[in-house]
Amino acid sequence: MKKTKLWAIGYSIALTGFTVWLALDTFVIPHAYQPAAPSPIIAPAQAESTPAPVSTASGKQSGGKRNSKSRTQLQHHADSAPIQSDSADEAFPLRYDNGQTHIALSSYRVEDTTVYVADVTLSSPEALSSVLARDTYGRNVTETPSSMARRTSAVLAINGDYYGARERGYVVRNGTLYRSLPINGQEDLVIDANGNFSIIRENEVSAEALTQGGAVQVLSFGPALIESGEISVGPNDEVGRAMASNPRTALAQVGPLHYLFVVADGRTSASQGLSLHQLAQFLQSLGAETAYNLDGGGSSAMIFNGQLVNIPTTTGSRSNERSVSDIVAIF
């Protein structure tokens, strides 16, 4: 009888230990993986040793990327009452111009929501790149968007698709194919070597065919918001079981080497958040020809000039920047 009890206790302890280990292995312990197929890595353009000045709406300039005045202005905006237009607060618009990369960062008030828009024009598609958390592809490998942006000297960054939260869905970053397991019906954003956007469905084309065809980035979250200038989501479309009004992150192309990086705050009394359809309508009003929804909610973050622009939150009770798998950035 005692042996039976001891065996049962031992079995329970072993089962509990295995369950805990399995949970940690699945959700906590980092695992680095190798690319699915070897391909050349396209390195992001190097940051200049002397950054271009950042101009504020008042015309004043700051000489460095991480100057305290720019941070003070951004913090003033974040703590102030919701703005009514992109000129209601002296901190916006902010501008970056080094002769090759032109960025104008503005804020808008849309459906009781504060939306930050970086209007980006490039002279070279190589300035549009992506960064992996800890420079490593794998499961449970995460880093905050601001940390990734700062350590790589990105001028502008938004969170990506958080590929590490899923085990399927294409992952192509800077020309390297990391994951080729498709999700039936999944809509992806493809960025080619010329910096042009297109939308594909994973069940219609393989990841290998995409990289062989010149895909430099393939982001797998979605859905597509705008295709060929037309809204491609309905008023009731949503991501999984997400709420209708959410913090959002989106990436859009207006024309050749002309992009919009967009983050909307949400889940707070000051900023409600947007539905996918509301986000699509807003992007269409800005002239987007192709637009794509990236990971949102607590992941939504924008970093400009080394500083966090928006107020990330998961529950709305406190501001907290979430660690994620990757960012899309301008160098």
**Which pLDDT tens digit goes with each residue over 148-206?**
999 999 999 999 999 999 999 999 999 999 999 999 999 999 999 999 999 999 999 99
Report the pLDDT value the prediction gives residue 239, as an integer from 0 to 100: 72
Q: List pLDDT tens digits, range 35-63.
A: 665 444 333 333 333 345 455 444 444 33
* Mean per-residue pLDDT of the chain: 82
What type of residue sits at position 168? R
Whole-number Å distance between alpha carbons of 78 and 63: 23
Query: Is 25 in the same domain as 91?
Result: no
CA distances from 109 to 42, 273, 282, 294, 300 (A): 37, 11, 10, 20, 17
Query: Is 40 in the same domain as 22?
Result: no
Are 144 and 323 in contact by the 8 Å Cβ rule? The answer is yes
Query: Is 157 in the same domain as 47?
Result: yes
Report the pLDDT value the prediction gives residue 92, as an integer from 0 to 100: 81
Query: Is 173 in the same domain as 194?
Result: yes
Report the pLDDT value the prediction gives residue 93, as an integer from 0 to 100: 86
Check pLDDT > 50 for residue 65: no
Query: Is 3 in the same domain as 61?
Result: no
pLDDT above 70 as % of the chain: 72
Query: Is 21 in the same domain as 39?
Result: no
Query: Is 321 in the same domain as 219?
Result: yes
Q: How confident is the model at residue 223 (pLDDT cuts 50, 70, 90)?
A: very high
Q: List pLDDT tens digits, range 273-328.
A: 999 999 999 999 999 999 999 999 999 999 999 999 999 998 887 888 999 999 99
Query: Is 11 in the same domain as 125?
Result: no
Query: Is 15 in the same domain as 127?
Result: no
Residues near 82 by beta carbon (within 8 Å), at least 6 away in sequence: 109, 112, 114, 270, 271
Instruction: Report the DSSP pairing between strands 61-62 and 54-55.
Output: antiparallel
Report the pLDDT value the prediction gives residue 318, as an integer from 0 to 100: 81
Query: Is 224 in the same domain as 134?
Result: yes
Q: How confident is the model at residue 145 (pLDDT cuts 50, 70, 90)?
A: very high
In 122-229, where does DSSP find H-type helix? 145-151, 207-212
Query: Is 20 in the same domain as 125?
Result: no
Report the pLDDT value the prediction gives residue 10, as an integer from 0 to 100: 60
Q: How confident is the model at residue 238 (pLDDT cuts 50, 70, 90)?
A: confident
Give the number of domains in the chain: 2
Residues near 260 by beta carbon (within 8 Å), at least 6 away in sequence: 117, 118, 119, 120, 250, 251, 252, 253, 254, 283, 286, 288, 291
The answer to which of 65-74, 259-268, 315-324 has the lowest mean pLDDT is 65-74
What b/e string do you get for 253-292 counting C-beta neighbours within 10 Å, with b at 16 or more? bbeebbbbbbbbbbbbebbbbbbbbbbbbbbbeeebbbbb
Report the pLDDT value the prediction gives residue 308, as an integer from 0 to 100: 97
Average pLDDT over residues 236-249: 78
Query: Is 52 in the same domain as 3?
Result: no
Q: Determine the structural domain holding residue 103 and report its residue range.
A: 33-330
DSSP states of 263-287 as a string? Answer: EE--SSSS---B-HHHHHHHHHHTT
Report the pLDDT value the prediction gives residue 39, as an integer from 0 to 100: 43
